[in-house]
Homo-oligomer: A and B are copies of this chain.
Amino acid sequence: MAAGMPDTAESPDKTRQRILTAAAEVFAETGFRNATIRQIVEKAGANIAAVNYHFGGKNQLYTAVFEQAMSAGFAEYPVNLDLPPDPTPEQRLLAFVRSFFLRAFVGQGCGTHLGRLILREMVEPTAELNRRITDTMRPMAEHLRQIVQQIVSRPLSDDEAFLFSTSIISQVVFHKHCREVIARMFPSRTYGRDELEQLARHVTDFSIAGLHAMRSKAIGKRAP
């Protein structure tokens, strides 16, 4: 089963790596089920049997792609990106939002495809989604909850934490998830570095204002 060389990702231009790169693009572009192995190996310049030889099948290739994309994205843009020591809660929120945008839109290598891979998971979840939730999303949600709690400067019920956190995260992922609609309705909109910085600032400011308004407002299951 195992080759003489270790599996650690070293070999520079080998077939395995080329397939991984090509598969990231194809999976992100067309989704798991629509993507075809023939399409992937053609883009990778490999033979059709190479996927089954190196990865064991389409499913395991997808898992490998997802892991590589996920770790690459967070390695390049951690949630505390560019944060000074002893940051204010508002600075922490900006870093959270900004790194999220960068991860979703400019992460180089496989990073760019991460957002689309996750969107695919939203629509047709595979076993990967459960892994990424416990690996990544749950810690991120807890991180965000603490930031929000600091900004509101009072303890939050689970209900409130849910509402506030989703209000913030939704403003980020929207631009990834609704990309096709945005591109059609606002053709002049692009997502270069400048626009992303502007977006991150806006989402942070907008959300902080919303959170400040919630400082003195308890939310129960039924609103008044």
State how many copies of this chain the complex holds. Answer: 2
**Chain B proximity of A83: nearest CB distance (Å):** 18
A146 to B201, CA, bound (A): 23
Residues of B within 8 A of A141 (CB): 185
* Interface residue A133 (Cβ < 8 Å from any Cβ of B): yes
Q: Are B169 and A174 closer than 8 Å at their CB atoms? A: yes
Nearest B-chain residue to A220, judged by Cβ:
B198
**Chain B proximity of A10: nearest CB distance (Å):** 34
Q: Are B221 and A163 closer than 8 Å at their CB atoms? A: no
List A18-57 residues whose CB lies under 8 Å from chain B: 30-31, 33-34
Residues of B within 8 A of A162 (CB): 186, 189
Nearest B-chain residue to A186, judged by Cβ:
B162
A124 to B116, CA, bound (A): 11
Q: Are B219 and A202 closer than 8 Å at their CB atoms? A: yes
**Chain B proximity of A141: nearest CB distance (Å):** 6
Q: Are B166 and A171 closer than 8 Å at their CB atoms? A: yes
Q: Are B223 and A198 closer than 8 Å at their CB atoms? A: yes
**Chain B proximity of A121: nearest CB distance (Å):** 7
Residues of B within 8 A of A174 (CB): 166, 169-170, 173-174
* Interface residue A177 (Cβ < 8 Å from any Cβ of B): yes
* Interface residue A127 (Cβ < 8 Å from any Cβ of B): no
* Interface residue A197 (Cβ < 8 Å from any Cβ of B): yes
A169 to B170, CA, bound (A): 9
Beta-carbon contacts of A6-25 to B below 8 Å, as 1s and 0s?
00000000000000000000
Among A121, A206, A208, max chain B CB count under 10 A is at A206
Residues of B within 8 A of A221 (CB): 194-195, 198
Q: A34: which of B122, B124, B178, B213 is its contact (CB, 8 Å)?
A: B124
Task: Using A121-B180, A129-B181, A194-B222 as known contacts, list a sample of 10 further A-B pairs with CB atoms less than 8 Å apart, ordered by residue number in A.
Answer: A123-B180, A162-B189, A163-B202, A170-B171, A170-B173, A170-B178, A198-B219, A198-B222, A198-B223, A209-B210
Q: List 5 A-B contacts (CB under 8 A).
A: A167-B203, A167-B206, A177-B177, A194-B221, A202-B223
